[in-house]
Structure 1
Amino acid sequence: MSQYASYTSYDGLKLRYRVVERPGSPEEAAPLVCLAGGPGRDAAYLGDLGGLDAHRPLVIPDSRGTGASPPSPEPWGYAFPALAEDLESLRTHLGLESFALLAHDAACATAQAYAAQYGHRLTRLVLVTPGSRLQGELPDDAEEIFESRADEDWWPDAYVAVHTLPTTSDLDEVRSLLLRAAPMGYGRWDAPQRAHAATEPAQLGPVPRAGFWQGVDEPARQALLARLPDVKCPVLVITGDRDALAGLRAGELVATSFRTAAVRTLHGVGHYPWVDEPDLFRPVVESFLTRGHDPEAHEGKHA
């Protein structure tokens, strides 16, 4: 069951969010707030995150200019530090003293910005297949994973699409190319993956996507990173060994920004673990949310 509601953010803009919960789930269960990536993608692609709604409600906001939420009145409102302020406004609206947060893809930057500023509000933090642009490094192992899959049927067309994308700014062509390149984001290219990928072109918002990384200069980035070691809540970084979009090393780099982080790599999984292997992804997250650790995860850097 999914229902929409609204909240008023720090600048007076009314934003929308969904509450996804299963009938019969425990009424006293604390919600899990879930942030969509893209950047600038309609949060509908998260679905129920492989059934994570079985034990707790999922609160899934539509960020500015995506889904049911209106555009930002100012361009800087799309930048990930500003989106973190939207999240704090949502927390206040929900009346939560503290909460667990899950973020996917680019939204992991928003989650890190939130943790740096409001880490005392977090009980658990799950970062799913993050990139490491915020850390200032772009590892090349995603390309290595892509090349290792060259014997798969979809690969030649995806290869052409990937190398054509940087040469065009036409939105319709970009969306077509993204769909052709989509198999590289999944552990395999079966019916569930094809259906999930087919939703992406229509879900991308070009304005919020363009504004996500804007206006964050080097001193601000360094100041944000400097605060992450002070985050006290347990942090779990989930990566997929077939993720040809983010790779594995980016998640490991993100984990080194925290003292309390561990990395769990899922086998046979791409950029969307809840689509590829929901029965593998869900127990890993559930275990972490209930116990605060995953016995099979390996630790990131600890000072």
Structure 2
Amino acid sequence: MPTFTALDGTELAYHVAGAGEPLLCLPGGPMRASVYLGDLGGLSSHRRLVMLDLRGTGDSGIPADPATYRCDRQVADVEALRDHLGLDRVDVLAHSAGGDLAILYAARHPERVRTLTLVTARARALGVDFTEEHRREAAGLRAAEPWFETARLALDAVLAGTATDADWDAAAPLFYGRWDAAAQAHAASDVEQSNEEAADVYASAGAFDPVAARAAISALDAPVLVLAGEWDGGPLPRVAATVADMFPRAELAVQAGAGHFPWLDDPVRFVQTVTTFLSRHTRG
């Protein structure tokens, strides 16, 4: 398992899958170990996935200062990894809460980003996020599912801040396009793979300056893919479209029948969408 040292001395780990040109992958959660990304539905057959374990997660070390879990302070870790890999420019893929980190990285180091792929990604860094109404709207799309009523009641508890562990488990199907054995195993591993202390700090006060970030990415020359799930509430496809409109060179893709983890819901479609985008913008 390869490692490198962050500027503050924290030893950080990353995992590599596949061969070919590197694709730097930033996990969400927030602060969930990168193992949950798997091989991104087989994307490792096309690119060398370099999956960073954010500080305090997975095989990475715990920092001396917990304040460094804040999203904006982890931008330096991404830049340190790029430098460690010896790459002048990088293709970056980010999932969920990792979208905030990727956006801040692109805003701070635009000359280092060749392409940016945002997968069902949050964009609090740009002042855009999902709401309770968005979550309920997306949940309503699943009304025909046999588990829907139980999941809907559990979601109400989650949104009210009164959820028990059982409520979180019952709401889990709403985050997946297919609630099959693979999705159930994936959901069951969430707690053990996540650093809850770090997650509480990740988006804490001061992490985001949307006005400055929007100004910075308005001049970003890198092509951007914003990939949304048809049934995902965080973000809804129309909210993802709003995010895409903030970038000068962005395109939106909505994966049919997908939730928050589109590489699990339809691996073939997911890989095709991402590889088509990357090949179109990284030839030569």
TM-score category of the 2 structures, normalised to the smaller one: over 0.9
Q: TM-score, normalised by structure 2?
A: 0.92
Deviation of the 1:207 alpha carbon: 1.1
Separation (CA, whole Å) in 1 of partners of 2:99 and 2:207: 18
Separation (CA, whole Å) in 1 of partners of 2:267 and 2:30: 23
The answer to whether the Cα contact below 8 Å between 2:90 and 2:114 also exists between their aligned partners in 1 is yes
Identity of aligned residues (%): 37
Residue equivalent to 1:151: 144
Separation (CA, whole Å) in 2 of partners of 1:76 and 1:253: 31
Q: 1:61-109 deviations in whole A, cap 9, x for unaligned?
A: 1001111112222232111111211000001111111110000001000
Aligned length: 279
Answering whether residue 276 of structure 2 is matched by residue 282 of structure 1, we say: no
Q: SS of the residue aligned with 1:127?
A: strand
Q: Choose from 40, 48, 51 the match for 1:49.
A: 40
The answer to whether the Cα contact below 8 Å between 1:123 and 1:233 also exists between their aligned partners in 2 is yes
Deviation of the 1:199 alpha carbon: 1.3
Q: TM-score, normalised by structure 1?
A: 0.87
Map 1:16-95; keep pairs closer than 5 Å: 16-21=13-18, 25=19, 29-95=20-86
Residue equivalent to 1:181: 171
Q: Choose from 114, 117, 120 the match for 1:129.
A: 120
Separation (CA, whole Å) in 2 of partners of 1:214 and 1:68: 24
Residue equivalent to 2:226: 237
Q: SS of the residue aligned with 1:124?
A: strand
- Name the CA shift for 1:178/1:201 in 2 (closer, same or farther; >3 Å): farther
Residue 63 of structure 1 aligns to which amino acid in structure 2?
Answer: L
Residue equivalent to 1:222: 211
Residue equivalent to 2:10: 13
| Unaligned stretches of 5+ residues in structure 1 | 294-303
The answer to whether the Cα contact below 8 Å between 1:184 and 1:245 also exists between their aligned partners in 2 is no
Residue 187 of structure 2 aligns to which amino acid in structure 1?
Answer: A
Residue 122 of structure 1 aligns to which amino acid in structure 2?
Answer: V
Residue equivalent to 1:161: 154
Separation (CA, whole Å) in 2 of partners of 1:204 and 1:154: 26
Separation (CA, whole Å) in 1 of partners of 2:111 and 2:100: 17
The answer to whether the Cα contact below 8 Å between 1:185 and 1:245 also exists between their aligned partners in 2 is no
Q: SS of the residue aligned with 1:87?
A: helix
RMSD across aligned positions (CA): 1.8
Residue equivalent to 1:297: none
Separation (CA, whole Å) in 1 of partners of 2:145 and 2:25: 32
Deviation of the 1:253 alpha carbon: 2.1
Instruction: Decide which moves more: 267-276 or 157-166.
Output: 157-166
Deviation of the 1:168 alpha carbon: 4.0
Q: SS of the residue aligned with 1:292?
A: helix
Q: 1:15-39 deviations in whole A, cap 9, x for unaligned?
A: 1111112xxx4xxx22001010010
| Unaligned stretches of 5+ residues in structure 2 | none
Residue 212 of structure 1 aligns to which amino acid in structure 2?
Answer: Y
